[in-house]
Structure 1
Amino acid sequence: MPSTILTGDRPTGPLHLGHYFGTLANRVRLQREGADLFVLVADYQVLTDRDVADRLAEHVEGLVADYLSVGIDPAAATIFRHSAVPALNQLMLPFLSLVSVGELRRNPTVKDEISASGQATVSGLMFTYPVHQAADILFCKADLVPVGKDQLPHQEITRLIARRFNERYGPVFPVPDALLSDAPLLLGTDGRKMSKSRGNAIALSATPDETARLIRRAKTDDDRHITYEPETRPEVSNLVRIAALCQDRDPNEVAADIGSGGAAALKKVTIESVNEFLRPIRARRAELDRAELRHVLDKGNARANQVADRTLTEVREAMT
């Protein structure tokens, strides 16, 4: 039986290769297998760890363009904007009554995000972030949620809320399972985790020249013989891995082909592999215009509102 799946991203900048191999390719696969895919543009969640939502409209449209260009089909998937679905946020109130302050404070993902934000103080929204995500997941009665290992504590809060609601008010929600990604972690060009905020990511929307510049400045080491040894040669191995993923080959084979060519040859192969991989994605993106992006969001918002209104009605009836 096909699953209902909720996934999504915060509109804080363009998606990159790490997103593609980590989550986007999996979303496309699940959609093709018949899953009812809900893709959330989490614009409200931008404010969890920052004071203002900078360039939000631009980032929202860019996110939708990224989705469409990698193959998410708006005829089969529901792509919607969080702020356009009021009933979704109304689920927060009954859900907050089902968890304690201590449970939210102990959530390790919240602790990590507070630490990573670099802020001396954070808003209350940061502590309610897991409950916010629970509302995102449960409003459409998702039974499967693709997550990375770092998101498992959030997912467990969602499962906890679903169980407690059902025990207290009757069976309304499925208890969603986590679908763990086995995709390798991609490092950015500076050797740290590839991230939009660090400026070290190869964006899906980058031009061939921008891609080449980013890869040419990537960290390597002094050994001219190229090998794939992630533990001892992380930067070199990361470039090998990126090239291998783009070629759909084993990274050891890619490294063996480069051999003693050194960093210059490695970067040349990686540039060519990434640009060839992104070529059809760039072509699809070039065909999109703002009117189409807005139409996709309008259509997705309308369906998400129908689903959320229906779920909120069920919740109110169960609680009375």
Structure 2
Amino acid sequence: MSSFAIAVRVFDGEAPYLQSFIDHHRRLGVDAFYPVLAPGAAPLCREIFARNGIGVHESDGQRISSVQDLIREDYVAVVDADEYLHPGLFDFLVEEKVESLSMPWRLTASLDDNFFESSQKKFFVFPQVKSIVKTSALKLLRLHESNTNGSGRRLGIAQGQHFPVQHYYLRGLDDLLLKEGGVVKRTLAQSSGRKPVNLSGNAESLDFPSRHARVAYLLKILDSVSPQADPYGMSLDRSMLDRLRANVEGDPEVAKQALRDSVVKIQRVYRNRTIRCEINAMQQLLAHDPRKISYQKRVLKLLRQDFQFRRSWLGRLEKARDSLLMPWS
């Protein structure tokens, strides 16, 4: 029988959701976890891994390649703690004798703190690649697409879209609060999601972390999507959430409201026409075998385009027309 491993980078903001991640992948048949933590960081996650009999590995910068030589299982995937592998994936790899498989994201998100455990969610598939590879052919373990040096079957997104990685991109405002590295000091988070972005206009200026734009884009997309049943059965560890919230600087509810305001303000920049075109574009791409598309670059490119448009006279005309047609939006 084939064996399977997961390499995962973790910080303490994941603690309320980590047990659910472990339980899901053990049900799938994952034999070993290789968590990579920053030295001395993520004490709550260390508790959870210890409780589950999982050893942790420390690396400056949380370099995922630091565990490559430790992996003895037949297959390995690199995922984040908010990403869940498809239940049919392992059988497919073995039956089809696959060396590597590229899988797109199946994204979901909400500003509702009860969302993670809800049975109904909205989803949007985006060709940001995650991969699973045969360890015997592994050349370099990477966050998104690991390299192989074998001569076996290397399958792209055309096949991988049947086994998308379900990405709980935002599990509520508490999740966003914990991902803002400076808000909860003990997370010691170092995150590219905090890269500053500035959109300047004559009448207004938007300053926000890049993560807020990525969230706003996805929420805008999901507004146009019908809900579906979530078969994975998520659960939230509220005791861990309470322990993290107790270390928030200031009032967490005030901080969460500020985060909501920031995301909603960015959502208003995206045009409905842009979102409709984006949904169609992704569907057309996925009908073929696309290469990886950078989620962040695409999100910010469309945001800047729509920001400039809304500053133009044509944009102001469109806004006035939309307010007359849909005064409630």
For normalisation by structure 1, the TM-score amounts to 0.33
Q: Which has the higher contact order (CA 8 A, sep 6+)?
A: 1
Query: Higher strand proportion, which one?
Result: 2
